[in-house]
Structure 1
Amino acid sequence: MSASFASALAGARDAAAAQHYPQGALYVMATPIGNLGDISLRALHVMQIADALACEDTRHTQALLRAYGIDKANWIAVHQHNEAEAAQAVVERLQQGQRVVYASDAGTPAVSDPGARLVAAVREAGRPVVPLPGASSVTAALSVAGAVAEEASFVFAGFLPAKAGEREDAVAALAAEPRVVVLMEAPHRIDSAARALAALGGRHLTVARELTKQFEEVATLECAALPAWLQADPQRSRGEFVLVLHAQPLARAADEGTRVLAVLLQELPVKSAVKLAAEITGAPRNELYEAALRIKGGKAPPP
C-alpha cells in the first residue's frame, strides 16, 4: 500500500459502510483518469466487499488496487473484443448472488469505453446495476472550458473517424451543429484531427490534455489556430485529449434558426415549427416565435 493512501480504506469504511449494497448486483465504477487521489471513498469500500472485479485490463486495475492495499483474487477480463461473451460470465456470478464491480481503464465505463453491452446484458437478465460515479474526462473538460452556460446544451460526439474522408465529413457536420460538442482524441491522431478541425475557422475550441496528470494543460483558442498550437511545443501532441468545441455564436444560431423555421412553417403550425427549429439549431425559442409571426404576417397561431 502506498503510504500516502494508508488512511483511505479506513475513511472509506467510515464514510460508506452504512449504505446498503445489494448482492447479485453489478457495480459500474468510475476510476481515476490520471490522479489516483480521484477515486471515491464509496468505490474503495465496494471494491473491498466485492466478490469479483471485472475490468478492461486486469493489470491496469490491479495497479490501482495495490496503491490502496486492496487484494482481490477473482478477476474477469471484459474488454471490447470479448464483452458480449464475458457478460454472460458476469451474469452467472450475479445469479449466484455475488457482487461484481466493473471498471474500464480510466474514467466512467460505457462512455467511449467498454461497458454498455455488459450493462445491457445484466439488465436483460433482470439483475440490478448500481453506478459508482466519479472521474470523467468529459465533465472535467466541460467544467474548465466555460462553454456551457445557462440554457445551453452539449452533445458528446466521441472520437472523430480515423479515415481522412470520413473525418472531414464529420467536421463538416460539426460546422452546422450550434451546440457545444465534446470530442476525444488519441495522441497518435491529434495532428490529423487538428488539421481537420482547422476548417471551422474562428469557432472557439478548448483543448484539455492529460487531465488530472502532472503535465495537465488546458487552452482555449480558435479552431484555425489548433495545428500551430500543437506544433509550438512537441510535448503538446502527447497524452490523451478532450476537445470542447464551443457553441456557435448566437447571431449565427439565430440566422440558422430563422432559415430552418421558414422551411418548417411551410408544413407545420407555428408552435410546432418554433419548437422543432429551436431543438435543431439551438436558437432562442422566443426569438423564433417572433420571427414566425413576422413570416406569417403578424398573425398569432390558433388556440
Structure 2
Amino acid sequence: MSLIRQSSFQEKEAVVSGSLYLVATPIGNLEDMTFRAVRILKECDIIAAEDTRQTRKLLTHFDISPSMLFSYHEHNKAASGPELIRYIIEGKNLALVSDAGLPAISDPGSDLVKLALEAGVRVIPIPGANAALTALIASGISTERFTFVGFLPRERKDIKSLLSTLKSSQGTLLFYESPHRVIKTLGFLLESLGNRRIVLARELTKRYEEWVRGSVEECLTWLESHPPIGEYVLVVDGASEEEEQKLRDAWWQELSLEDHVDRYEKEGMSRKDAMKKVAADRGVTKRDIYNSLL
C-alpha cells in the first residue's frame, strides 16, 4: 500500500480533473440543509442520486438546476460507477447525494468513493445531517464509544451471527430499521443481547419526530399498541463491564466452533448435546451452531 496525500482546497489552475463531492442532504427537515451544500450543488456539473425523483424535489426547493441529474443506486452501480468517474476525469465536478443524510452510509456511495480514489480523483466531503448521530446525541445513552451497525442482514442466521459478535461490545450500538421490520429486529436484540436499555427514534427532524426510551421488552410492548410508522434509529446500550469481562475470560474464547463442540464430545456428551451446550456458552441458538458447522 502506497501513501496518497490529498489537498481538498488547491488552486483551481492546479486541478486537471474534476472532483467528487459527497453532499449531505436533510434527513427530514429541509432547514437542515447547509449553505455550503446548496452552493456546491449549484456549482457542480453533475448530481448523482439514489432516487432522482426524491432528489428533484430537494433541488426544486432550493432552486438548483444541474446540467445532468444521474441515477446511481445499488442495482446500477456496476455500470454507472465507471461512467461517473469518466465524467470527473474529463473535468466535470460531480456531487453525490443520498435520499437523506450522508452519502456512502448504508448506500452504494462507498463504492463510488473507492473508484474515485483508485482513479486519483479528489473526494471532498460536504458534511451535514446524519440520522444515527442525531439519535445518539439525544438518546441519553453513552456517546463515549459507539458502533454503527446500520441495517441488519435479511437472513436469520446472518443476523444471529452478526449480533453474537456485538454481544460483548461495551460501546453503544446504532441500528437503522424500517417500520416493517423493527418489531422483528427488537426480538432478535432481546434474544441475542438481552433486555438492555434502548431508545427508538423515529421520523427524526420531521413533524412527527418521536422518542421511546426503555428496555427492549418495554419498547416491544409499546409497539404492540402503537404500530410502527416511519424510519427508525435504534440506540442500544452496550455490554456492561461485567458482561464484557465474563465473555473475555471464557475458557472457550480462543476455540473454533468445531473445537468447542469437540471438547464437550470428549467429555462424553452426544454431538447434539455438545452443540446445545456450545450455543448456550456463546449466547446463540443451536441452529446457528449447526448452520456454521455444515
- TM above 0.5: yes
Three-state SS of the structure 2 residue aligned to 1:145 is coil
Match of 1:112 in 2: 106
The one-letter amino acid paired with 2:233 is V
Distance in 1 between the 2:27 and 2:68 partners?
A: 24
The one-letter amino acid paired with 2:183 is D
Q: Is the 8 A contact 2:213 2:219 kept in 1?
A: no
User: What does the per-residue CA deviation read over 1:107-162, in whole Å, with 9 as the maximum and x for residues that have no partner?
Assistant: 1111111201111111111111100011111111111123234xx41111111222
The one-letter amino acid paired with 1:250 is E
Q: Is the 8 A contact 2:198 2:215 kept in 1?
A: yes
User: Structure 1 residues 102, 20: closer, same or farther in 2, change over 3 A?
Assistant: farther
Distance in 1 between the 2:11 and 2:207 partners?
A: 36
User: What does the per-residue CA deviation read over 1:207-247, in whole Å, with 9 as the maximum and x for residues that have no partner?
Assistant: 1111111111112211122211111222xx01111111112
Q: Is the 8 A contact 2:190 2:196 kept in 1?
A: no
Given candidates 81, 97, 120, the residue that maps to 1:87 is: 81
Match of 1:194 in 2: 186
List alignment gaps of at least 5 residues for structure 2. 1-8, 255-294
Q: Is the 8 A contact 1:198 1:226 kept in 2?
A: no
Given candidates 201, 208, 211, the residue that maps to 1:208 is: 201
Three-state SS of the structure 2 residue aligned to 1:59 is helix
Match of 2:243 in 1: 252
Match of 1:72 in 2: 66
Distance in 2 between the 1:175 and 1:224 partners?
A: 17
Three-state SS of the structure 2 residue aligned to 1:188 is coil
Match of 1:283 in 2: none
* Matched ranges for 1:217-256 at <5 A: 217-234=210-227, 237-256=228-247
User: Structure 1 residues 261, 169: closer, same or farther in 2, change over 3 A?
Assistant: closer
User: Structure 1 residues 66, 209: closer, same or farther in 2, change over 3 A?
Assistant: same
Q: Is the 8 A contact 1:154 1:179 kept in 2?
A: yes
The one-letter amino acid paired with 1:154 is F
User: What does the per-residue CA deviation read over 1:188-219, in whole Å, with 9 as the maximum and x for residues that have no partner?
Assistant: 11121122223244311111111111111112
Aligned CA RMSD, in angstroms, stands at: 2.4
User: Structure 1 residues 263, 157: closer, same or farther in 2, change over 3 A?
Assistant: closer
Query: How far is 1:19 from its partner?
Result: 9.8
Match of 1:177 in 2: 169
Distance in 2 between the 1:80 and 1:243 partners?
A: 24
Q: Which moved more, 1:80-89 or 1:156-165?
A: 156-165
Asked whether 1:31 is paired with 2:25, we answer yes
The one-letter amino acid paired with 2:206 is K
The one-letter amino acid paired with 1:184 is Y
Asked whether 1:164 is paired with 2:151, we answer no
Three-state SS of the structure 2 residue aligned to 1:28 is strand
Distance in 1 between the 2:24 and 2:149 partners?
A: 20
Asked whether 1:61 is paired with 2:50, we answer no
Q: Is the 8 A contact 1:87 1:122 kept in 2?
A: no
User: Structure 1 residues 82, 132: closer, same or farther in 2, change over 3 A?
Assistant: same
Query: How far is 1:263 from its partner?
Result: 7.3
List alignment gaps of at least 5 residues for structure 1. 1-17, 265-303
Q: Is the 8 A contact 1:84 1:117 kept in 2?
A: no
The one-letter amino acid paired with 1:45 is R
Length-normalised TM-score, structure 2: 0.75
Match of 2:40 in 1: 46
Length-normalised TM-score, structure 1: 0.73
Distance in 2 between the 1:197 and 1:104 partners?
A: 28
Query: How far is 1:261 from its partner?
Result: 9.9
Distance in 2 between the 1:215 and 1:67 partners?
A: 21
Match of 1:140 in 2: 134
Match of 1:281 in 2: none
Distance in 1 between the 2:182 and 2:213 partners?
A: 16
Three-state SS of the structure 2 residue aligned to 1:176 is coil
Q: Is the 8 A contact 1:29 1:109 kept in 2?
A: yes
